[in-house]
Structure 1
Amino acid sequence: MIEKEKYMKSGLVSIIMPTYNRAGVIGEAIRSALAQTYSNFELIIVDDGSKDNTAEVVRQFDDDRIVYHAYAVNQGGNHARNIGLEMAQGEYICFLDTDNKWLPDFLRSQLDMLGEFGADISLCRLVIFDPRGNVQEEVPIRTHPLYQKKGLVDLLGLAKSMLGENSIDTNVVCIKRKCLESMEGFNEKLKRLQDWEFFLRMVLPQKHKVVYNPVPLVHSFMQADSIRFKQDFLATFLYVFERWLPLYQAYGMTGEQCDRIIRLTRNKVEGKARQDALAGLLRFIPYDEVEASIIRLKLNPQNLRSAHKVEYNTINLGGWYSVLQIAKRRRTAVCINRDAFYKLGAIPEFLLEFISFIVCDDFKGVSYRGIPLVTFNSLADEAVKLFVIVIGGYEEKKRILCDMGYRESTDFIDANDWLF
């Protein structure tokens, strides 16, 4: 959150650029900021614990508008953005990721739009390029009914549209500082679609005027290590749906959003919905409404019955409650691999808050819903302290855990069957 009392420099634009091990691309992003035709800005680069030569690349730019802030421990892009918001001194706030570039007139155009229409938030178009340089998509899509022409955006229509899915990319906005003074920053527990959740909170009250410029002033370049390739978006979709369920119900959008989540996560080859998506929906959506979505989408209903068992079967829940009693007394970890990572979505909420670590060698340096991810070898240092819930690849993990001094049933269990 930006503090109201903090000194603000009139006319200044604060550009917030989070980075983590992006030495190979950050230079182009910085150059696009320095090339802006509107020059009254500060570029706040927040280095989220980079281990490469990012600092050296930044130091090559001799420009006193650059503010470089680095810290040692990687805490995620949302944390870095929030640090940038705390440091910002500008009257206007913009965000520029390291795999994006602004065209030279981005800032001037955005500020002109705010002034011309008396708006608080200005948006433009963004073009996404794949690693080969081909145009992948544009945001917002050209057929989107809210974004057909230059001018003010219908706020009720925007609120309803954003409840469905995101149409605002972090890199295309210019926001008056006052819009951020009354709201929390980016949700640091989310690793995907954090811009959606952030801007959803901003537009739902319908108190800030939003103006749209159809000119594409931002280019985004997909990287092999982009978050979009690493993290599943299901957790964020479920989080948003559950948090604002009364609004979905008031706008008659509950069935539509069930359809969207199931459709986006379904197995197209097998014609089935994903098990964890259904189990997640059943936490707060009645069975018959989820079933109606399965019927509308013409999917195999078998997974729905299994997901219902996961959520309500007394044997399965009894097992989790038994684990909960252990987790309240001992530090507990979930041990999982890449192929089974998505199954975390079906672990009961009442247990997650007692999980100290998620052990997964495939996702180093990140977290899941605020729970730190650590490597398998780190269990050796915690052999006496940790109770381990194994999901997937049990026989192999059993052998390794026993070699580390863990005892089956006493110190670790196989919970895969409780989920699916």
Structure 2
Amino acid sequence: MQAIEEGTLEYFDPEMYSNFNTEVLEEYLEEKTRAEGFGSTTWKWDQIMLGLVIGIIFAVINQYVGLKVGMIVSGSWYVAYLAAMALRWTPGEVNLSASASTGASMVCTGFVFTYPAIYLLAYSSKYRNPDGSHLVDASLLLPDSWVLAGVALVASILGGMLGVLYFIIFRRVWLVEDPLPLPGFEANVKLMDIARETSTGSVESARHSIWLVGISTLLVGIFTFLRDFPVFSTGAVDFAGDPIRTSVLDKGAHELGVSRYYEGGDLMVPFDSGITNYTWLGFEFTPLMGAIGWFMKFRVAMLVSLGTFFTWFVITPMAYVFDYPFYYPIDGLYHAVSAYPAASLKSYSYVARPMAIGAILGGGITALLKMAPVFRTTAADVIAIFGGGDDDVARRDYVDGEG
């Protein structure tokens, strides 16, 4: 902090962001930005519009990623950074545009995790009533009806509004008083550093960094196309009568006779192997998850992966060894895990998953109880804001003459 005050430490120096998550630096930057932030960045519609256009394009991409891997990681701000840097905007202007792109790209988040669930309730055999009927009437779904699509859209909009409101309330808690680690923060800082170099004339260094980002994007895009894009016809049709197509890599695996070991981006032990009764071993070729792990570093990535390791190397083997009975909701009966081929998949679906749901609920409740003292500060800030007052404490969010 002394180096920042004296002007000897630049904003994007690694020595600066290595001191984050200490609560001290966050508090200092919070007050510094509150006083000086209005002068460092101004609202410009061309910057916002660039971010919105990029974000809308990535909303479609996020829809695909969410359906493919079950999670969404914003990548629009990378492109927004590169586009803004090409225009030689300052870091503050770049950040403004990238923030707009991130907000626009996330509009699909609520829908991508809501409407597919409704489809599963309407069509999947896993979610049937005892009489064989589905929990949701398929006639209420697209393209026949907009009824449930409208429900999902409204729920997504309301959820997004509540999310913004909640973050406004808890922003100080999560970013200042008890800061959360940000796995992708180093990448963000690196791109901001490139923006600074570009706007100040350090073109050679910025050009090298942009080249690395661009070539990585190109290579990953080519690989993902070969892995996922349906190019070749299989001669079969799906439930709706549409032709089923396969990707280049899947076609190659079939032609080479190794489709038992590779399918849909997964390099795996064949399902008919005896080991699959105990666990399922496979490696998914997914650059997206590899990049997330790279940003998280080993310790955080290992902590995130512990649940997977515990599931496949402890829970599923034990379920098979002890022949654990699981409840099957379709027929309302209990079945032995060992009665099924590739028993580990049943152990995962009907033993490990319910345990994980319980762990998430228990962990969430415990976390809320742990943070109870912090909520007192948050509630006091909200009451002070809406209660008004002339003292500085009552309106710490307001800077006279600025906003």
Query: TM-score by structure 1 length?
Result: 0.23
Greater share of residues in strand: 1
Higher helix share: 2
The normalised TM-score by structure 2 is: 0.24
